[in-house]
């Protein structure tokens, strides 16, 4: 009986020994998995994170995102300096952890002649515009100027406009959105001069390739690095905000939506073996189907995080994103606000 008990104890010890070994292996394996997961989920630290919000897209915000500033896009301007659009601040979910500032974006994106007139020092429209911006600023924490069509010769007038506006808004955060540059462009957007006037400068570091350009990334990492390095050399660190795109673009290799010459028509009819119809009422009508090769580029989670890490490594402490609703929601888990 004693021998049997001894054998049973020996078997128990062997089993316990193997269980301990298995447990240790599991611990090591699990630790490796968690370590890889933590490495994958590494966060990037910033002082300020700005997001652009289009009217009607408020539902994309949950209130849990790591944003310090929300830019409501946008109020437009008429020829008399009046602000157009719904200027009422949006109703947004409250984030209990990170209080955000709300900014109204004032934009003029394409009309060069209107921008020139609005910046003329003695124009009634200019005075009216500044008066209207000051009035609406009482409903917001900040005002952002996004004038993307300033003629080259109006650079000094643009700076004076910003100077006069800031003088009227000493306690309001006045920011400006500027196009990306990798070197001096000798245009209206003098980084160094403008940064001395306003509180924040957003560099829109995207549209490296655009709708009418050849296909390519919206903001490649190497291109973004050059843009950031030029901005760093011109703009004080506490004022600089590097913008990132949350979108992509697609291009058709062959475009058929264009004006046609008769030689074009003959080539189309010949190449696609189509039958045309013709009468005096509408001339020649034709119809055909053709395969279209599409080339697209889109910002991925990894490409955005790579640029965030790049900017952080360059000492940049603030970033912005265009715009909410276009992103992979996992992105917000990768950003930490100081």
Residue 322 has which token pair?
């265009």
Residue 292 lies in a domain: no
CB atoms within 10 A of CB 119: 24
Domain identity same for 328 and 246: yes
pLDDT tens digits in sequence order for the chain, 338 residues long: 444 455 455 545 544 554 444 444 444 344 443 334 444 579 999 999 999 999 999 999 999 999 999 999 999 999 999 999 999 999 998 866 788 999 999 999 999 999 999 999 899 999 999 999 999 999 999 999 999 999 999 999 999 999 999 999 999 999 999 999 999 999 999 999 999 999 999 999 999 999 999 999 999 999 999 999 999 999 999 999 999 999 999 999 887 788 889 888 888 888 888 888 999 999 999 888 888 999 999 999 999 999 999 999 999 999 999 999 999 999 999 999 98
> What's the CATH number where 202 sits?
3.20.20.80
CB 320 within 8 A of CB 311: no
Number of helices (H) and strands (E) in the chain: give both, helices first: 8, 15
Count: domains in the chain: 3
The answer to whether residues 204 and 155 belong to one domain is yes
Count CB-CB contacts under 10 A for residue 296: 9
- 103 and 27, same structural domain? no
In angstroms, the CA 304 to CA 246 distance is: 8
Q: Are residues 106 and 217 in the same domain?
A: yes
Do 36 and 58 lie in one domain? The reply is no
Residue 315, phi-psi category: left (phi > 0), alpha (psi -120 to 50), beta (remainder): left
User: Does residue 86 lie within any of the structural domains?
Assistant: yes
Domain that holds residue 27: 1-40
Q: Phi/psi zone of residue 81: left (φ > 0), alpha (ψ -120 to 50 degrees), beta?
A: left
Residue 131 sits in the same domain as residue 214: yes
Q: Does any domain span residue 63? A: yes
Predicted TM-score of the model (pTM): 0.85
What b-and-e string marks burial along 28-63, b requiring 16 or more CB atoms within 10 Å of the CB?
eeeeeeeeeeeeeeeebebebbbbbbbeeebebbee
Q: Please confirm, yes or no, whether 42 is among the known catalytic residues.
A: no
Q: Which of 48, 57, 148, 226 is catalytic?
A: 148
- 12 and 132, same domain (yes or no): no
Q: Provide the pLDDT for residue 96.
A: 63
């Amino acid at each position: 009986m004693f021998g049997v008990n001894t054998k049973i104890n020996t078997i128990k010890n062997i089993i316990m020994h193997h269980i301990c070994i298995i447990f240790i292996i599991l611990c090591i394996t699990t630790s490796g998995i968690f370590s890889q997961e933590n490495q994958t989920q590494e966060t990037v630290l910033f002082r300020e994170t700005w997001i652009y919000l289009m009217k009607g897209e408020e539902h994309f915000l949950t209130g849990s995102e790591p944003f310090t500033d929300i830019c409501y896009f946008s109020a437009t301007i008429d020829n008399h300096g009046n602000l157009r659009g719904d200027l009422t601040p949006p109703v947004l979910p409250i984030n209990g952890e990170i209080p955000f500032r709300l900014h109204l974006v004032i934009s003029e994106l394409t009309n060069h002649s209107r921008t020139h007139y609005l910046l003329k020092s003695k124009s009634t429209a200019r005075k009216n515009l500044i008066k209207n911006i000051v009035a609406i600023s009482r409903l917001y924490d900040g005002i952002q100027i996004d004038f993307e069509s300033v003629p080259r010769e109006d650079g000094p007038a643009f700076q004076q406009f910003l100077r006069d506006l800031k003088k009227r808004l000493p306690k309001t955060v006045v920011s400006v959105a500027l196009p990306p540059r990798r070197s001096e462009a000798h245009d209206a957007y003098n980084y160094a001069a403008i940064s001395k006037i306003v509180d924040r400068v957003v560099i829109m570091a995207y549209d490296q390739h655009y709708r009418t350009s050849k296909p390519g990334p919206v903001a490649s990492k190497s291109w973004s690095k050059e843009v950031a390095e030029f901005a760093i050399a011109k703009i004080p660190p506490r004022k600089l905000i590097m913008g990132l795109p949350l979108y992509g673009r697609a291009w058709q290799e062959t475009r058929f939506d264009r004006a046609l010459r008769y030689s074009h028509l003959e080539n189309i009819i010949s190449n696609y073996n189509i039958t045309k119809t013709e009468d005096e009422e509408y001339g020649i009508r034709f119809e055909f189907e053709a395969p279209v090769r599409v080339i697209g580029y889109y910002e991925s989670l990894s490409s955005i995080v790579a640029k965030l890490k790049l900017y952080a490594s360059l000492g940049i402490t603030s970033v912005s994103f265009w715009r909410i609703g276009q992103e992979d929601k996992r992105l917000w888990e990768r950003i930490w606000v100081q």
